[in-house]
Amino acid sequence: MLKNISLEIPQQFENDLRQEMQAVALEAFKAVANRHNFAEYLKRKDAAQYLGISTGYLDQLTTKGLPTIMIDGLKLYKRSSVDQWMVDHQV
């Protein structure tokens, strides 16, 4: 049986906690990226794997502005541009 518990915390504490969680997530993202030897330009499947998401969700991010390169119908993702886009969308 699940119960909901309400807890009020100061806004600054919430902001600090959110910032700390983002820093931890970014470190985990970097650690995963360092375990794989990804090329600078990634195909769709590799870009999804690099980000740790499904290809369907990658397509959703692409429609939201994730930078892509289109050459003769082949969609590529520049790794450094993907990294920057993710950092730019931190909240």
What pLDDT is recorded for position 79? Answer: 93
**pLDDT tops 70 at residue 88:** yes
pTM: 0.59
Interior CA angle at 45 toward 56 and 72, to 5°? 100
Q: Is 2 within the bounds of a domain?
A: no
Q: How many whole angstroms separate alpha carbon 87 and alpha carbon 69?
A: 19
What pLDDT is recorded for position 41? Answer: 94
Number of domains in the chain: 1
Q: Is 3 within the bounds of a domain?
A: no
Q: How many whole angstroms separate alpha carbon 49 and alpha carbon 60?
A: 15
Q: Is 45 within the bounds of a domain?
A: yes
Q: Is 1 within the bounds of a domain?
A: no
**pLDDT tops 90 at residue 70:** yes
